[in-house]
Amino acid sequence: MIHVDALPGTPNNKLTISQIISKAVEEAKLYEQKGLDAIIMENMHDVPYLNKKVGPEITASMTAIATEVKNTISIPCGIQILAGANIEALAVAQASGCEFIRVEGFVYSHIADEGLMNACAGELMRYRKMIGADEIAVFADIKKKHSSHFITTDLDITDFAEACKFFLADGIIITGRSTSKETDVNELQKVYKIFDLPILIGSGITIQNIDKYWDLTDGFIIGSYFKEDGDWRITVSVDRVQSFMKYVNNLK
């Protein structure tokens, strides 16, 4: 995960778009050199997030960043635009040549820290067809982190997974309660037994715990662990990336 610096127009923005692009490109090059299989770009520093409707400046900035990153590295690239700006992410992915997007609120409603977020699968998948982007994979978060799911307490996590498959997602993402928090192994095991599409873990993976998840998933999205002190807000630690990939290569 590349946590793109705060974009122009957001409260924490301090860098120009060219500076933001340069930093994202350097991180992407590092991750490719160290043997990662793919990268995903996310506007994590754009706090506080808007609920689904981001401005055109965000879409334009993410397109510029993604295009430069995609033109620099050869591994697959993905896009997520917070919060829940899934149509915009798909448009960015198509314009920049990225291969996948990460989607919040694909099925069922939940209360995010940005407010109520309703399901978007019908609208999103029609949009994907309309713009001819069927080749761009949609990975959907289920029981997403940073959210309350009290309105769906009568549903098991397997219900979310089955609904994602029924609504044509290409894979699912399971997370812990918040950024850097571990995913519940019991919930992951439930889904792994019944779900035949790719499953990714989207939070909390470290060199200390990856073993227990290794046989229960198809991939890992790692952001915080690769940063100095494991803090997503700080710069990437080359030593952490290097040690982690050495360990993972031994697992393979």
The string of pLDDT tens digits covering residues 232-251 is 999 999 999 999 999 999 99
User: How confident is residue 39, by pLDDT bands cut at 50, 70 and 90?
Assistant: very high
Q: In terms of DSSP bridges, do strands 171-174 and 2-3 run parallel, antiparallel, or are they unpaired? A: unpaired
Q: Cα(33)–Cα(42) distance, rounded to whole angstroms?
A: 20
Statement: the pTM of the whole predicted model exceeds 0.75? yes
Helix (H, G, I), strand (E, B) or coil at 147: strand
Distances (CA, A) of 154 to 21, 118, 202: 44, 17, 24
The proportion of the chain whose per-residue pLDDT surpasses 90, expressed as a percent, equals: 91
Enumerate domains of the chain plus CATH numbers: 2-251 (3.20.20.70)
């060199």: which residue's tokens? 207
Q: Cα(23)–Cα(17) distance, rounded to whole angstroms?
A: 10
pLDDT, one tens digit per residue, over 79-93 is 999 999 999 999 999
Q: Cα(227)–Cα(55) distance, rounded to whole angstroms?
A: 29
172 touches 140 (CB < 8 A): yes
Q: In terms of DSSP bridges, do strands 100-103 and 77-80 run parallel, antiparallel, or are they unpaired? A: parallel
The pLDDT assigned to 61 comes to 98
**Exposure letters 136-174 (e unless 16+ CB within 10 A, then b):** bbbbbbbbbbbbebeebeeeebeebbbbbbebbbbbbbb
Q: Give the pair of three-digit tokens for residue 88.
A: 């915009």
């977020």: which residue's tokens? 117
Helix axes 157-166, 185-194, angle to 10 degrees: 40
Question: Span 199-208, mean pLDDT?
Answer: 95
Residue type, 53: K
